[in-house]
């Protein structure tokens, strides 16, 4: 995911840049102190996400949003929680209150990813067709347990079979319902309904131990229904 940061505070830009780096799948293409300087860059480059400060001396974030005809998904940042309602008036994905914590940042990124992967159809897909040795095989999402990246291939594990597909984990992730699946590690996507046990930085699914990255552990715990 490619993003741009616009904030007049250097420390705020640095914090967001480090958080993006920590999550791992967000590339910061550019940072701008003055929003006016970002206009040309946004017009000439394909951006997935914009982090935008609400209040800046040269041009307010709200005014910037109004001035740009085509914007990527926007996450507004502010030092004052009372401006949250103002942020949502401009149809942004979410807002972040400074100082920004890792946990809050991860929740925002889940919203961004959910928005990008949500299907335009009224009903969520329940299956996917995968190309296996020139055959299209239908896999029901309820049967999929683990999806693992293996070099140039991806292995999809169901309750009774393993399918090897020439594809990338990222492309497959885009086809999965965000309500059911979660990428917990750079090499693993898991079906949340198949989790048997969680211990420290690992998950047990069908007697297989799956590693969970530190950045994704909090996202995982937030997604689970816990007592």
Q: What is the pLDDT of residues 15-42, one digit of tens each?
A: 999 999 988 789 999 999 988 888 888 8
d(CA 214, CA 130): 31
In the chain, what percentage of residues exceed pLDDT 70?
A: 90
Q: What is the pLDDT of residue 89?
A: 63
Mean pLDDT along residues 154-162: 93
Q: What is the pLDDT of residue 85?
A: 63
d(CA 190, CA 156): 10
Residue 124 has pLDDT above 50, yes or no: yes
Domains of the chain as residue ranges with CATH: 2-117 (3.40.50.2300), 127-223 (2.40.50.1020)
In the chain, what percentage of residues exceed pLDDT 90?
A: 44
Is the full-model pTM beyond 0.85? no
Residue 24's region, left for phi above 0, alpha for psi from -120 to 50, else beta, is: left
The upper half-sphere exposure of residue 67, i.e. CA atoms within 13 Å in the direction of its Cβ, equals 13
d(CA 61, CA 210): 42
Q: What is the pLDDT of residue 121?
A: 47
Residue 119 has pLDDT above 60, yes or no: no
Asked whether 153 and 140 are in contact (CB, 8 A), the reply is no
Residue 78, CA distances (Å) to 41, 55, 166, 225 in order: 23, 7, 44, 30
Residue 68 has pLDDT above 80, yes or no: no
Lowest mean pLDDT among 31-45, 66-80, 137-151: 66-80
């Amino acid at each position: 995911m490619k993003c741009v940061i616009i904030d007049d505070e250097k420390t705020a830009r640095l914090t967001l840049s480090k958080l993006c780096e920590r999550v791992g799948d967000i590339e910061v293409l550019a940072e701008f102190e003055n929003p006016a300087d970002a206009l040309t860059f946004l017009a000439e480059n394909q951006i997935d996400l914009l982090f935008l400060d609400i209040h800046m001396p040269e041009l307010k974030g709200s005014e910037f949003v109004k001035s740009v005809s085509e914007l990527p998904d926007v996450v507004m940042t502010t030092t004052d929680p009372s401006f949250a309602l103002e942020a949502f008036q401009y149809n942004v994905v979410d807002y972040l209150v400074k100082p920004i914590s890792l946990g809050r940042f991860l929740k925002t990124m889940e919203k961004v990813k959910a928005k990008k992967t949500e299907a335009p159809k009224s009903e969520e897909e329940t299956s996917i067709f995968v190309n296996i040795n020139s055959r299209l095989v239908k896999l029901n999402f309820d049967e999929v347990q683990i999806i693992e990246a293996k070099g140039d291939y991806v292995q999809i594990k169901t309750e009774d079979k393993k399918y090897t597909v020439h594809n990338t984990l990222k492309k497959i992730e885009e086809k999965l319902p965000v309500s059911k699946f979660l990428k917990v590690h750079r090499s693993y996507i898991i079906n949340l309904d198949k989790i048997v046990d969680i211990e420290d930085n690992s998950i047990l699914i069908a007697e297989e131990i799956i590693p969970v990255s530190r950045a994704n552990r909090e996202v995982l715990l937030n997604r689970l229904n816990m007592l």
